[in-house]
Structure 1
Amino acid sequence: MALIATLADGLGTDCVPFLNEAVERCWNSDHLRSISMAVAHFPTDAAFGLLLARMDNKHIRPALQEAMQRCPARALRLLAEAGLKDGKNAPAARQLLNTHVTLNSTLLPQLLSQLDAKAAELVRSLDGARERVAEASPQALPPLLASPPWTRKRTPRKPQVLSGLQPDDTRRLEWREGEREQWAGHPSGGWEYPPTTDWDQEARKILKGNYGLWQTTRLFKQGPVEVLTPWLETWRPEDLWGGQESFTPVVAKYGMAALPLVLKVAAANPAHLTPLLMPFLDLGAARLMADGLIRLKSVQTTARSWFARHGIAAGLMLVPDALGQPGPARKAAEQALRLVASTEGADAVLAAVAAEHGGQAAEIVAEALAVDPLEQALPTRIPALPSWVQPAVLPQILLTSGEALPDEAVRHVLTMLALSRPGDPYPGLTVVSEACRADSLAAFAWALFEEWRQAAMPAKESWILQTLGPWGNDETVRRLTPILRDWPGQGAHHRAVEGLNVLAEIGSDAALMHLHGIAQRAKFKALKVRAQEKISEVAEGLGLTGEQLSDRLVPDLGLDPDGTTVVDYGTRRFTVGFDEQLRPFVLDADGKRRKDLPAPGAKDDQELAPAERKRFMALKKDVRTVASDQIRRLEAAMVTQRSWTAAEFRELFVQHPLVWHLARRLVWLADVDGTATSFRVAEDRSFADVNDDAFTLADDATVRLAHPLHLGDTLPEWSELFADYEILQPFAQLGRPVLRLTREEETANRLHRFEGCKVPVGRLLGLTKRGWERGVPHDAGIERWFSKRLAEGRHLVIALDEGIAVGVVDMFPDQTFETVWLDTEPCDYWSSRHYPLRFGDLDPLTASELLADLEAATAQ
Structure 2
Amino acid sequence: MDDATYGYRAGFIVEGMDRLVERIRETEAEGEAKYTRPIPPPVTPVPAVGTSPEAALEWLDRRLDRDGFGGFFCYIYDSWFTGVTWQPEPLALILWEKTVPLLALSGVRHDQTAAMVVRFGERALPGLVAIVAAEPEDKLPHVLKVDAAALTPIAARAFHRTKRARPAAVAWLRAHPRTAALRLLPDALGAPGPERDAADAALRFLASEPAGRAAFDAAVAAYAAIDPRVPEAVVSGVDSDPLDQVPVKPPKLPPWLVPAALPRPVLLAGGTLPNAAITAFCEMLAFSSPLTPYAGIAPVRAACTPESLDAFALAVFQSWLAAGANVAGEWAMRTLALIGGDACARDLTRQIRAWGQAGLKPRGKAGIAVLAGIGSDAALMNLSALAEKNPLLQLREAARDAIADAAETRGLDAVELADRLSPDLGLDARGGLDLSFGTRHFRVGLDETLRPWLRNADGQRLPALPRATKTDDPELAKQAAKLWAGLKKDAEDAGRLQISRLETMLATGRRIGPDVFQPFFAGHPLIRHLAGRLVWGLYEDRLATTAPRVAFRLAEDLTATDAEDAALDLDLAALDGVVGLVHPLHLTPDTLAAWTALFADYEIAQPFPQLAREIYAFTPAEAAASATDRFDGVRVAGRRLRGLRSQGWSSDTASEHVCSVQRPTPLGGADLFAVLRFEDGLWHRSGPEGDEVQALRALTLTETGWGASTAHRFGDLDPVTASEILRTPSLLAATGGE
Alignment of 1:456 with 2:324, yes or no, is yes
What is the rounded CA distance, in whole Å, between the counterparts of 2:453 and 2:532 in structure 1?
Answer: 18
Q: Which moved more, 1:473-482 or 1:391-400?
A: 391-400
8 Å Cα contact 1:795/1:823 also seen in 2: yes
CA 1:376–1:253 in 2, change beyond 3 Å: closer, same or farther?
same
CA–CA distance in structure 2, aligned partners of residues 203 and 649 of structure 1: 62
Aligned mate of 2:552, from 667, 676, 679 = 679
Q: 2-side partners of 1:242 and 1:626: how far apart?
A: 43
Aligned residue among 632, 641, 648 for 1:764: 641
Give a deviation string over 1:720-757, Cα, whole Å, max 9, x none: 22222222211111110111111222222322111122
Counterpart amino acid of 2:610?
Answer: Q
**Aligned twin of 1:692:** 565
Question: Is the partner of 1:643 in helix, strand or coil?
Answer: coil
- Name the residue aligned to 2:650: 773
Rate the CA distance shift 1:795–1:322 in 2: closer, same or farther, 3 A: same
Secondary structure in 2 matching 1:754: coil
Per the TM alignment, residue 608 of structure 1 is displaced from its structure 2 partner at its CA by 1.2
- Range with greater deviation from structure 2 (255-264 or 650-659): 255-264
Instruction: State the SS of the aligned residue for 1:275.
Output: helix
Instruction: Give the 3 Å change call, closer, same or farther, for CA 229–582 of structure 1 in structure 2.
Output: farther
Offset at residue 467 of structure 1 (A): 0.8
Shift of 1:640: 1.9
Alpha-carbon separation, structure 1, partners of 2:562 and 2:88 = 59
Paired residue for 1:816? 695
Distance 1:665 1:233, change over 3 A: farther
Equivalent residue number for residue 705 of structure 1: 581
Q: 1:812-840, CA deviations, whole angstroms, 9 ceiling, x for partnerless residues?
A: 5122234443333446x7xxx98655333
User: 1:567 touches 1:576 (CA, 8 Å); kept in 2?
Assistant: yes
Q: Is the 8 A contact 1:315 1:340 kept in 2?
A: no
Q: Is the 8 A contact 1:746 1:840 kept in 2?
A: yes
Q: Deviations over 1:237-283 (max 9, x none)?
A: 74847958974xx6488785599999978855888633322643526
Give the Cα–Cα distance (whole angstroms) in 1 for the partners of residues 503 and 77 of structure 2. 41
Whether contact under 8 Å (2:434, 2:443) holds in the other structure is yes
Q: 1:689 to 1:566 in 2, by over 3 A?
A: same
Identify which of 336, 343, 361 aligns with 1:493. 361
Aligned length: 653
Distance 2:97 2:376 in 1: 43
Residue 613 of structure 1, aligned match among 475, 481, 496:
481
- Pairwise mapping of residues 71-470 of structure 1 onto structure 2 (< 5 A)? 191-192=5-6, 236=96, 238=98, 240=100, 243=103, 247=107, 251=109, 268=130, 273-277=135-139, 279-280=141-142, 282=144, 291=153, 301-302=161-162, 304-309=163-168, 311=170, 314-323=173-182, 326-328=185-187, 335=198, 338=201, 349-351=209-211, 354=214, 360=218, 370-378=239-247, 382-397=250-265, 407-470=275-338
Which residue number in structure 1 is paired with residue 733 of structure 2?
858
What CA deviation, in whole Å up to 9, does each residue of 1:583-613 have, x standing for no partner?
A: 2222222222222322222222222122112
Post-superposition CA distance 1:129-156 (Å, at most 9, x none): xxxxxxxxxxxxxxxxxxxxxxxxxxxx
Give 1:804's match in structure 2, choosing from 682, 687, 712.
Answer: 682
Could you say what secondary structure the match of 1:566 adopts? strand
Aligned-partner residue type, residue 385 of structure 1: L
1:619 to 1:278, Cα distance in 2 relative to 1, 3 A: farther
Residue 220 of structure 1: CA displacement?
Answer: 9.4
SS state of the match for residue 720, structure 1? helix
Q: Give yes or no for contact 2:155–2:169 (8 Å, CA) kept in 1.
A: no
Aligned residue number for residue 586 of structure 1:
454
Find the aligned partners of 2:551 and 2:612 in 1 and give their Cα distance: 16
For residues 420 and 295 of structure 1, what CA distance do their matches in structure 2 show? Answer: 15
Distance in structure 1 (CA, Å) of the matches to 2:114 and 2:78: 16
Show the counterpart of 1:787: 662
- Alpha-carbon distance change, 603 to 390 in structure 1, aligned in 2, over 3 angstroms: closer
Q: Which amino acid aligns with 1:323?
A: L
For residues 490 and 733 of structure 1, do their structure 2 counterparts lie closer, same or farther at Cα, with a shift above 3 Å needed? same
Contact 1:564 1:576 in 2 (8 A): yes
SS at match of 1:601: coil
**1:716-795 to 2 correspondences below 5 Å:** 716-774=593-651, 776=653, 782-791=657-666, 793-795=671-673
Choose which of 392, 398, 403 in structure 2 pairs with 1:524: 392
* Contact 2:345-2:382 within 8 A present in 1 as well: yes
User: How many Å separate the matches in 1 of 2:81 and 2:504?
Assistant: 35
Contact 2:160 2:202 in 1 (8 A): no
Moved more, 555-564 or 633-642: 555-564
Contact 1:294 1:300 in 2 (8 A): yes
Conserved? CA contact 1:509–1:554, under 8 Å:
yes
What is the deviation of 1:654? 1.9
State the Cα deviation string for residues 666-720 of structure 1 (Å, max 9, x = none).
Answer: 1111124777222222222111223433323363321111111212342222222
Structure 1 residue 524: Cα displacement: 2.3
Mapped partners of 2:187, 2:472: distance in 1 = 66
Deviation at 1:647, TM superposition (A): 2.9
CA distance in 1, matches of 2:97, 2:635: 42
Inter-partner Cα distance in structure 2 for 1:227 and 1:477:
51
Q: Any conservation in 2 of the 1:567–1:573 contact (CA below 8 Å)?
A: yes
Q: What is the deviation of 1:853?
A: 0.7
CA drift of 1:481 comes to 1.1
1:570 and 1:229 map into 2 onto residues whose CA distance is: 85
**For structure 1, which segment, 278-287 or 580-589, has the greater mean C-alpha deviation from structure 2 after superposition?**
278-287
Aligned-partner residue type, residue 637 of structure 1? M
CA distance in 1, matches of 2:684, 2:412: 35
Question: Which one of the candidate residues 475, 492, 509 is aligned to 1:641?
Answer: 509
Deviation digits for residues 182-229 of structure 1, max 9, x if unmatched?
Answer: xxxxxx9984369xx8866699979977797778879999x9x99999
Contact 1:263–1:285 (CA<8 Å) still a contact in 2? no
Over aligned residue pairs, what C-alpha RMSD do you find? 4.4
User: Unaligned regions of 5+ residues in structure 2, if any?
Assistant: 17-22, 29-63, 65-71, 223-230
TM-score, normalised relative to structure 1 = 0.66
Counterpart position of 1:24: none
Instruction: Tell me how far apart the structure 2 counterparts of residues 358 and 295 of structure 1 sit (CA, whole Å).
Output: 18
CA deviations on 1:10-68 (whole Å, 9 max, x unpaired) are xxxxxxxxxxxxxxxxxxxxxxxxxxxxxxxxxxxxxxxxxxxxxxxxxxxxxxxxxxx
Distance 1:444 1:748 in 2: 62
Structure 2 CA distance, aligned partners of 1:481 and 1:690? 42
1:473 aligned residue (338, 341, 349) = 341
The 3-state SS of whatever aligns with 2:324 is: coil
CA separation of 1:632/1:212 partners in 2, compared to 1, >3 Å: closer, same or farther?
farther
Change in CA separation of 1:200 and 1:481 when aligned onto 2, cut-off 3 Å: closer
Q: Residues 806, 643 of structure 1: CA spacing in aligned structure 2 closer, same or farther, 3 A cutoff?
A: closer
In structure 2, distance between residues paired with 1:795 and 1:228: 37
Change in CA separation of 1:266 and 1:401 when aligned onto 2, cut-off 3 Å: farther
Is the Cα–Cα contact under 8 Å of residues 212 and 239 in structure 1 kept in the other structure?
no
Kindly provide the amino acid, as one letter, of the partner of residue 728 in structure 2.
Answer: D
Equivalent pair of 1:301/1:422 in contact (CA under 8 Å): no
Q: In the alignment, is the contact (CA less than 8 A) between 1:323 and 1:330 conserved in 2?
A: no
In 2, Cα distance between the equivalents of 1:499 and 1:825?
34
Inter-CA distance 193–609: structure 2 relative to 1 (3 Å threshold): closer
Contact kept, 8 Å, 1:321 with 1:330, in 2: the verdict is no
